[in-house]
Amino acid sequence: MALTLKPTTFDPARVQDPEMIGLLSNVFEGLVAYDEHNRIVPQLAQSWKVENGGRTYVFKLRKGAKFQNGRPVTAADVKWSIERNSSKALASPTLGYLSDIVGVSEHNQGQRPDVPGVVVVDPGTVSITIDSPRAYFLGKLTYPVAAVEPKELVPATAELSDIKAVVGTGPFKLDSFQADQQIVLAANSDYYLGSPKLRAIQYQIIQDAATRLNKFRAGGIDYLTLERQDIPAVQSDPSLKKQLQFENRPMVYYLGLNPAQYAPFRDVHVRRAIALAIDRTRLDRDLLGGVPEARGLIPPGVIGYDAGYQGLAFDTAAARQELQKAGYADGKSLPPLTFTYREQTPDARIIAEAVGSDLTRNLGMKVDLRAEELKIFLNHRNANQLEFYFLSWTADYLDPQNFLSLLLTSGSPQNHDSFSNPQFDKLCDEGDKALDEARRASLYGQANDVAVQQVARIPLYYGREVDLVSPRLSGMKESLIGLLPFRWAEAK
């Protein structure tokens, strides 16, 4: 495998980027997980039942499950892990995945030492009570922040950084890490569901896209996700073309706008002007080789997605009118805008240059481009310090709540752009609490429209992953979200 960037973290409570999430999913496990049919199935839990009107989940742990140091997993480990990962000291950037659990918010704010919503019934049984019935709750427990960790190895109040302490319950264990070079996972021969068929997985850290592709051609990489710029050359290569796979993903590539850092964004007319001035069709079709254009914030494969939704279409005249309504008849009177994107990512650079060019040409704005290393970029984003940026959001669980309520409601820990709209909050709150799927789809569809019209974010395109897969690799399984752990994979 190839990693396109240096590892951001080995801590499941702090990981956010898809590459490290995929890697760590082979090492750490939670109570439940997605399978290849996009169903939530038992993982460390053997079974569960729902009580208390949909508010309490009682999990029976899988017999024989144990950590990679040989110790059996108990209900106390589940409780300790949730308390550790939601603590104030750890300051997890993905706290929102646990925030429905009774007491998590108070624990995170330092108001109490424990999480009363997690109760050890007996060594093999744990119950989790949430604040209100929520149709998507089990989906949240599939995210790494809900992984179960060994108390004796993982620090309770600091980020997991000692490689020897990266110990989970999964089919592979961390064998070695050479900074800037590679990470090797070795098969966990004592895995409670049987040893995986692969002996090891070598993740090579290769930040240059051309080098990654050449390494695949030479047989040094078996699975590679391509940059858009490389697709035409691969499609024209008779040998490589046979190894090409296209997979639609429930993800949205978007532009983030932060009114707290760029004062003109406090005016919705400025935000609408930006959205209307960007030629997304040209960007998606011509510059990125035909990715699915996004008009809304809910992607295909997730309830509430509307294929006919139009949103804010490219219209330069309307864009200039919006700017005039905000008192900026000439875009040159706006202060310079800094656009931040991930370095060593050709697609991101293409987006940044195209968006900057559109805003200068169509509105007269001055846009400064700035590339940042991913870890620094995410730190700045998490601290709400970016003015204008390009990023993507991939479903962590297949529910519109993951794209709307979690990211954009007022006060949400994941809301990094200071967006706040009472109508949006109300629609999301009703959608979050509703259990009927049709009603939820309608409420989230309305919330999506509010977010798009108020320009909480600017959707650019939906996810379509393009992979090269060596013919010697087989048995890979994936859900709509992406690759599942390599427990079933084989290499000839």
Q: What is the CA radius of gyration of the chain?
A: 23
Domain ranges of the chain: 29-150, 249-463
The answer to whether the 29-150 and 249-463 domains have the same CATH topology is no
- The DSSP code sequence of 282-338 is HIIIIISSSPPB-SSSS-TTSTT--TT---S---HHHHHHHHHHTT-SSGGGSPPEE
Tokens of 284: 């998606």
Q: How many CB atoms lie within 10 A of CB 398?
A: 21
How do residues 376-424 score in pLDDT, each as one tens digit? 999 999 999 999 999 999 999 999 999 999 999 999 989 999 999 999 9
**How many CB atoms lie under 10 A from the CB of residue 18?**
18
| Phi–psi pair at 250, nearest 5 degrees | -75, 80
Mean pLDDT of the chain, nearest integer:
96
Could you tell me whether strands 200-205 and 125-129 are parallel, antiparallel, or unpaired per DSSP bridges?
Answer: unpaired
Tens-place pLDDT, residues 314-327: 999 999 999 999 99
Nearest of 155, 430, 187 to residue 304 by alpha carbon = 430
Which residues neighbour 209 within 8 Å (Cβ) at sequence distance 6 or greater? 4, 227, 229, 230, 346
| DSSP calls for 334-389 | SPPEEEEEETT-HHHHHHHHHHHHHHHHHH---EEEEEE-HHHHHHHHHTT--SEE
Average pLDDT, stretch 160-173?
97
What is the CATH code of the structural domain delimited by 29-150? 3.90.76.10
CATH class of the structural domain 249-463: alpha beta
Distance CA 305, CA 445 (A): 7
CA 211/CA 230 separation, integer angstroms = 11
- Give me the pLDDT at residue 289, please: 84
Q: Could you tell me the pLDDT band of residue 48, with boundaries at 50, 70 and 90?
A: very high
* 485 CB burial (10 A radius; 0-12, 13-18, 19+): buried
Number of helical (H) and strand (E) elements in the chain, helices listed first? 15, 18
The token pair that represents 397 in the structure block: 């669980």
Distance CA 343, CA 352 (A): 11
